[in-house]
Structure 1
Amino acid sequence: MACVEKLHIVMFPWLAFGHIFPYLKLAKLMAAKGHKISFVSATPKNIDSLPKIPQNLAPFINLVKIPLPLVPNLPENAESTTEVPFHKVKYLKLMYDLLQEPITRFLESSTADWILADYVSYWLRPIASRLRIRWCPYNIFTASFMGFLGPPSNLIKGDGYRVKPEDFTVKPEWVHFDTNVAMSLYQSLALAAGYETDEETGNVSEAYRVGRSLEYFDMVAIRSSVEFEGDWLKLLQDMYEKPVIPVGLLPDVEESKEDDNEDWSEIKDWLDKQAKGSVLFVAFGSEAKLTQAQTTELALGLELTGLPFFWAMKKQRGLSDTEPVELPEGFQDRTRGRGMIYTTWVPQTKILDHESVSALLNSSGYSSVVEAMQFGKALILLPCVYDQGIIAKQLEEKKLGFQIPRDESDGGFTRESVAESVNLVMLDEEGKIYRDNVKDMQAILCDMDKQNGYVDNLLNYLQNHKFSKN
């Protein structure tokens, strides 16, 4: 049953486009039902980078720009994670933490009923409570990743039994159903820094931010669905002892307007010349950047496949990244005609929607995975950062994707393993299960009645549990 009285909802995502876009997609779905959305970004540049709000939704969505304060050690004008090397993201978080005063001033002048906020701004909950605005952590990670991390108290104080990187390579003791979802050793080693406070800056750990954001809340919203990970959602509900409301996987349902873009015209012309279902799309999203050694092996693996490919290649994370990666010598000459490489932004959903594209090789970034399944494209997985290793294990377990084999200790892989994985998923009979299962998930993702049902369920909860304004 739809809500009668309309809500005013503030949305406050972290400064990463892998967070901003799932927030914006949910904002549009709620605005389409007549609710007022204040979409706040702590950066004018990020707001200006967003796709234009559709005309029918524009009256309901207010894009709020809050200028970022200056912090030493950040490149000039850096306003998102894509513009800084990994080792400088901690300074972005410090800058984000300085927004407590301006976001408080904005909320004081608003008429907000709820604020849906990212884990990074864990400090916003007491501010919202003082202003009698309901607080809801909106989590854009999978339920499997959140379930693997564990209860909030464990994240804040440590769980007492996972003390070595090897301890994260097995199923946690609180997961009581059969699953192989866990971290590889190299992923655990990479994530270890997220469990420690940075001594240089005093920046609190990632685990602390996640735990504190979940410490006191009435409910948590999460980008997930029962069809995709029902067991993990039930685990979270039991673990948090509070309502966990999935908002759906948020497929891209808008009609793209990129046909007149010059780059898209060139890309489409090349794709149109390829055989139906023959092209491998290689894209690692906005966050992941391969090392030089990984880039070389990936490139030479693509060469070994003999298949046509389109590669959206990330050479560096912002202009301050002093270690840009390069293609192997002679690679472009040897693959000319059957390979196309772009080092700038590409219209990913348009490419995935093209009939010549058969599969996506990517880092298991959540949004890209959802987009690939939405368009029925098989998945070849090479996880790089953050939650991507858990997502890859989950997809592999569900036979929705195939992970390129790697060295468990350091994450290394070979050109031969790349070629064999691509050929298995795209061509071999053994890989048919991945191609078929992704088509089944496509049917679920494209069921907008299901997606709207998730949003209605969220809105009904928000309506029934807001503070009285009397």
Structure 2
Amino acid sequence: MMSTSEIPQLHVMFLPFFGLGHMIPTLDMAKLFGARGVKTTIITTPVNSPVFSKAIQRISKDLGVQIGIKIINFPCAEVGLPDGCENLNAIPKGEAYTEMTIIFLKALSMLQEPVEQLLSEFKPNCLVADMFFTWANESATKFGIPRLLFNGSSSFYLCTTACMMMYEPYKHVSSDSEPFVVPGLPGDIKLTKKQLPEFMLSNDDENEFAKLLKKTNGEDLKSYGVVVNSFYELEPTYADYCRNILGKRTWHIGPLSLCNKNFEDKALRGKQASIDENECLKWLNSKKPDSVVYICFGSGANFNSDQLMEIAMGIEASGQDFIWVVREDKKDEDGNEDWLPEGFEKRMEGKGLIIRGWAPQVLILEHESIGGMVTHCGWNSTLEGVTAGVPMVTWPLFADQFYNEKLVNQVLKNIGVGVGVQEMITNMGVSVVKREAIEKALKEIMVGDGAEEMKKRAKGLGLMARRAVEEGGSSCSDLNALIEELSSLSQF
């Protein structure tokens, strides 16, 4: 038996999916492991490495936590992607988006060999790999180490997806809009075919994208376990269902965003903000507590000008102070912005702030003047809204987002209201939500009859989130138990 001093340092390698929504929480994970004395290494590609390297320099300087980076080449030329298209967010929106996404996902299969070369060379004790690397279990087994799966969503998502694939209730409805109860799932959760991810309804033989995504959903049971960016108190019924009914080994170690303690880490999380952070805070400081609504649709949404016009008109009609984040490329061929009503910004001067590009979201959400949020229900944003303790207007678009909306508006009871979207948006050019619905939802969470009760409940969940990551909290304890288990495995 080795003495404690002879036990080698635990080494965990992280392989994130190359999209900002997956890379950002993976860096947070590596930071958490590193802060507990674990040697951590992130595997990435040349174009994606700056997202990690700049943050790692700050982490090393401020916390003394060393996180390594190993770079492998992404096979753009081999699969026919434009040079430098190494990130899902780099794929241009348009008619070819789905086709290019399929090619991008196929390219991931070509990374198995270079990743295995790293595993052979550095001999880590564990590989934490994103769900999209469907070969990661095979690779980890080859080197005799556990593979932990990171799927970037909640236990509620894991449970709902498992029940949907097990029972296929959508095959027994008479129309795409007929509601059905998800069998076997606690909580009487109802969905329609229109709200399901496209891959679930597709024939495997016809759709390569569907084939790959279905495969990812079987990998969690083959892996050693699943790390979940959530906390037990948020979804105890589904955390227990995952472990006890579905038999998934899960560790809830979130909210991961809370590992960012200082101003710089919050301000520069993900990318350089498109606005001076101090100017943004100065503007927020001029507002009353709980008086500003934050509107953001994540890094993947790309509304057309008609929909953006409806949002602008809905905001103005609601009379609420706001921060609105819009993708920076919303200009016509002549460089003009045709998506704002004439004179909008002048009329909104002092009432609103438009951020064109990337926003320091965590920094904004935790400011006391933020009283509500409009979200696309991507899991990172949803959990950051919960952590900040703000009510939400839910506006799901695709992927897991309708499931997340159900969690916010039904399971968590009264911390959000839907804007009224009833179907998956496969074409961002379609304008589906009118200004009247937007106005109504904004007023409901900010000044409606139930707004105070909603804010009270949301703030309670925010406090729970922060307690979970403190010493003795559920997420802190889960992470410590996971590291202890991996350390124990590494000694044999």
TM-score above 0.5: yes
Q: Does 1:326 align with 2:326?
A: no
Alignment partner, residue 401 of structure 1: 415
> Distance in 2 between the 1:308 and 1:214 partners?
43
Which of 413, 418, 439 matches 2:459?
Answer: 439
TM-score (ref. length: structure 2) = 0.83
**Contact 1:108-1:131 at 8 Å conserved across structures:** yes
Report the CA distance shift for 1:325/1:246 in structure 2 as closer, same or farther (over 3 A). farther
> Distance in 2 between the 1:346 and 1:69 partners?
30
Alignment partner, residue 246 of structure 1: 252
Q: Does 1:18 align with 2:28?
A: no
Alignment partner, residue 139 of structure 2: 127
Report the CA distance shift for 1:203/1:408 in structure 2 as closer, same or farther (over 3 A). closer
Which of 45, 48, 65 matches 1:46?
Answer: 48
Shift of 1:73: 4.8
1:135-214 equivalences under 5 Å are 135-150=147-162, 155=165, 159=167, 161-163=169-171, 166=176, 169-175=179-185, 177-180=186-189, 182-188=190-196, 191-192=198-199, 195-197=202-204, 202-203=208-209, 205-214=211-220
Report the CA distance shift for 1:215/1:382 in structure 2 as closer, same or farther (over 3 A). same
**Contact 1:271-1:356 at 8 Å conserved across structures:** yes
Report the CA distance shift for 1:269/1:370 in structure 2 as closer, same or farther (over 3 A). same
Count, aligned residues:
454
Shift of 1:308: 1.5
Report the CA distance shift for 1:400/1:191 in structure 2 as closer, same or farther (over 3 A). farther
**Contact 1:315-1:326 at 8 Å conserved across structures:** no
Alignment partner, residue 298 of structure 1: 311
Which residue identity lines up with residue 384 of structure 1 in the other structure? Answer: L
Alignment partner, residue 415 of structure 1: 435
**Contact 1:9-1:36 at 8 Å conserved across structures:** yes
Q: Does 1:255 align with 2:262?
A: yes
Q: Does 1:308 align with 2:310?
A: no
Alignment partner, residue 282 of structure 2: 269
Which of 281, 295, 315 matches 2:294?
Answer: 281
> Distance in 1 between the 2:352 and 2:201 partners?
37
Report the CA distance shift for 1:199/1:173 in structure 2 as closer, same or farther (over 3 A). closer
Deviations 1:230-284 (A, max 9, x none): 1111222234424222223223232122499862233233223333322111111
Deviations 1:266-313 (A, max 9, x none): 323322333332211111121223344432222211011112211111
> Distance in 1 between the 2:127 and 2:414 partners?
34
Shift of 1:393: 1.1
> Distance in 2 between the 1:466 and 1:172 partners?
40
Match of 2:70, SS state, is strand
User: Superposition RMSD on alpha carbons, in Å?
Assistant: 3.1
Quick check: 65-74 or 49-58, which moved more? 49-58
1:340-351 equivalences under 5 Å are 340-351=353-364
Gaps of 5+ in 1: none
**Contact 1:195-1:206 at 8 Å conserved across structures:** no
1:88-103 equivalences under 5 Å are 88-103=100-115
Report the CA distance shift for 1:407/1:168 in structure 2 as closer, same or farther (over 3 A). same
Match of 2:256, SS state, is coil
